[in-house]
Homo-oligomer: A and B are copies of this chain.
Amino acid sequence: MGDFGSSPIAPYCAPMAVLIDVTEHPESWVNGLRENLPGFEIVVGPYNGPSDEIEYVVAWDVNIDRLRTYPNLKGLLLTMAGYDRIEVKALAPIPVVRLVDPAMADDIAQYVLSWVIHFSRGFDIFASAQSDRTWVSEPPIRFPSDVTVGVLGAGAIGKVVLATCEYHGFNTIGWSRSSHDRSMTSFFEASDFVVNLVPLSPATESLVGANELERLGNGIIINVGRGRTVDQTALIEALKGDLRWAVLDVFEVEPLPHDSELWELPNVTITPHDAGRTNPLTAAAVVATSIREIESGRRPANTIET
């Protein structure tokens, strides 16, 4: 039997702390990280304790100046996939890791799927008929096999959107700048729906302009990527012309300003950057994996290049 009664005196260690600085569901994050990171202290922001205890910060909105006051910071774990608002270089060489949670891709795919079904089945036509007390006796009949969903920016999330639409019988085309089988304008021409998932960079700003939207004809654009990858002025013109509808979750400026014309165009659906929601139940496990990777000297999979 072991000598359980005596044990060496533990050397004093400052607890390794993970600071969670999120506004939504902090308690779910705490529970999820406690479960997935035994041995770490989990603290919730705003944090006023000793700055040398913070080794990891899990956050959505990032204050770089504050992060620099943590001398032992080993990693910044973002709770979202997009990172265009973060000055990654300012933290180098500390790794900044995007959240790539497969569950979030499913969330975006469901958002897209519901609108693809909605418009391909003419629910917008029924809604407009309803306001006139009109029964649409010969609805336009389009089955999924009659409809093509194009996904612009076919990365990890785009692939899940494509697979989800395919699973339900829709035709699909993926197009990305690095990999495509046709020109971007032909891609717009061949699609009934274009789902934009292009990440924002200097090369993708206003990537979708008047020419592409014209090729989409009376199709539908669903923007769940970044607002500035679509030329908003050209989009408004197209919506006043042939374009049937735009479902917009992202905008050049967010929140969408009160005086934006988009609010009241009759063929626009506005959602408040909510298509890909972070679910702490699944995301905490992904973040914990990244922290364990850094602890063991590895570079987490979705570290942002600087």
By beta carbon, the residue of chain B nearest A133 is B263
Chain A 112-127 per-residue mask, 1 if CB under 8 angstroms from chain B, else 0: 0110011001010011
A114: chain B residues within 8 A (beta carbon): 113-114, 117-118, 121, 123
* Identical chains bound together, number: 2
The residue in A127, A133, A279 that gathers the most chain B C-beta atoms within 10 A of its C-beta is A133
Chain A 140-165 per-residue mask, 1 if CB under 8 angstroms from chain B, else 0: 01011100000000000000000000
Q: How far is the CB of A220 from chain B (nearest CB, A)?
A: 14
Chain A 19-41 per-residue mask, 1 if CB under 8 angstroms from chain B, else 0: 00000110000000000000000
Roughly how many angstroms separate A58 CA and B260 CA in the complex, as a whole number? 54
B277 lies within 8 A of A136 (CB): no
A289 on the interface (CB 8 Å rule)? no
The residue in A113, A126, A130, A144 that gathers the most chain B C-beta atoms within 10 A of its C-beta is A130
By beta carbon, the residue of chain B nearest A254 is B135
A118 lies within 8 A of B118 (CB): yes
| A133-B263, A277-B141 known; A111-B121 Cβ under 8 A | yes
Q: How far is the CB of A101 from chain B (nearest CB, A)?
A: 12
By beta carbon, the residue of chain B nearest A138 is B24
Instruction: Determine, out of A5-13, A43-51, A194-202, A267-275, the stretch whose residues face the partner at the interface.
Output: A267-275
Q: How far is the CB of A258 from chain B (nearest CB, A)?
A: 5
A255: chain B residues within 8 A (beta carbon): 135, 137
A65 on the interface (CB 8 Å rule)? no
A145: chain B residues within 8 A (beta carbon): 281
Roughly how many angstroms separate A24 CA and B139 CA in the complex, as a whole number? 10
| A114-B113, A258-B133, A264-B133 known; A139-B279 Cβ under 8 A | no
B274 lies within 8 A of A121 (CB): yes
Q: How far is the CB of A66 from chain B (nearest CB, A)?
A: 22
A285 on the interface (CB 8 Å rule)? no
A281: chain B residues within 8 A (beta carbon): 143, 145
A205 on the interface (CB 8 Å rule)? no
3 cross-chain pairs, A with B, having the tightest CB-CB distances, nearest first: A135-B255, A114-B117, A133-B263
Q: Chain A interface (Cβ within 8 Å of chain B)?
A: 24-25, 106-107, 110-111, 113-114, 117-118, 121, 123, 126-127, 129-130, 133, 135-139, 141, 143-145, 168-169, 254-256, 258, 260, 263-264, 269-272, 274, 277, 279, 281
25 A/B residue pairs, CB under 8 Å, sorted by A: A107-B143, A110-B121, A110-B144, A110-B168, A111-B117, A111-B121, A113-B113, A113-B117, A114-B114, A114-B121, A121-B274, A123-B269, A123-B271, A126-B270, A127-B269, A129-B272, A130-B269, A133-B260, A133-B263, A135-B254, A135-B256, A135-B272, A136-B272, A143-B279, A145-B281
